[in-house]
Amino acid sequence: MRFETKAPAAMMALLSVHPSRNKDLRTPHRIMGSPDVPIYDYIDGFGNVASRLTVPRGGVTLSADFLIEDDGQPDVRAPDGLQMRVEDLPDDVLIFLLGSRYCETDRLMEMAWGEFGHLQSARDRVETIVAFVHNHISFGYEHARSDKTAWNGYQEKLGVCRDFAHLAVTLCRCMNIPARYCTGYLGDIGVPVSDAPMDFSAWFDVFVDGDWYTYDARHNAPRIGRILMARGRDATDTALTTNFGPAELTSFVVTTEEVQHVD
């Protein structure tokens, strides 16, 4: 990722592999700067590795290259059964029922209960929401914009993977199912290889029957090889970079390659 600046600008980045995947790393993982600017990390309030740096006058290129092992298993479906009562949810999960910057539960509450209120199983609600969002929004990189919310995505019916995730997260929260937004790597493993330029991907987790389960409204199918970087309430908490001053993104390349055997 190349950023150009005319004056130094502070920056926060969520580009590291999530600590939950650290034991899967098979080579060192480090965010590098060119020029070699000081970068230090801390753990944010959602358990993500956040990096802080100052982009120097002229700009900086941030990069990382690593090998990580995955179990090769597709996403696991949530168990079937009655939905947990809000009263029984753990305290630290309640925040993922609340509205947030890109997930306006208040604007979609009536629609959600009208569409999904007849379903009793939490899994049925989640998977029906995923299918609804998948069919409701048309994907296209030309539809991306930083201020698009779940309500905007619902109204416009156009978006990128983060818009699919925001709408699905919002609808799940409206139905009292805790949902958190996730971002990371998702290569073309176990599916036909796409010829489109790769990007980071967005998906979401739901809390069902005491545990978190991964769903993806853009693809509407279990996938193999998700590598989590960050999760939070929505894209505000998981922004790849946040600039505290002018810094223009002029180059952005993401590459994942499946490796079957490593000597």
Q: How many helices (H) and strands (E) does the chain have?
A: 4, 14
pLDDT, position 82: 86
pLDDT score of 224 more than 90: yes
Say whether domain 86-232 belongs to CATH 1.25.40.10. Answer: no
pLDDT score of 246 more than 90: yes
Say whether domain 2-70+241-251 belongs to CATH 3.40.50. Answer: no
pLDDT, position 262: 64
Q: How confident is the model at residue 197 (pLDDT cuts 50, 70, 90)?
A: confident
Mean pLDDT rounded to a whole number for the chain: 95
How many C-beta atoms lie closer than 10 Å to residue 167's C-beta? 28
pLDDT, position 263: 60
Instruction: With H, G, I as helix, E, B as strand and everything else as coil, classify residue 242.
Output: strand
Q: How confident is the model at residue 120 (pLDDT cuts 50, 70, 90)?
A: very high
- For strand 138-139 and strand 158-159, is the pairing parallel, antiparallel, or unpaired? parallel
- The residues spanned by each domain of the chain are 2-70+241-251, 86-232
Q: What is the pLDDT of residues 54-99, one digit of tens each?
A: 999 999 999 999 999 999 999 999 999 889 999 999 999 999 999 9
- For strand 2-4 and strand 40-43, is the pairing parallel, antiparallel, or unpaired? unpaired
pLDDT, position 193: 86
Q: ∠ at Cα 234 (251, 207), nearest 5°?
A: 130
Q: What is the pLDDT of residues 158-187, one digit of tens each?
A: 999 999 999 999 999 999 999 999 999 999
205/234 Cα distance (integer angstroms): 11
pTM above 0.75, yes or no: yes
**Token pair 């969520």 in the structure block, residue:** 14
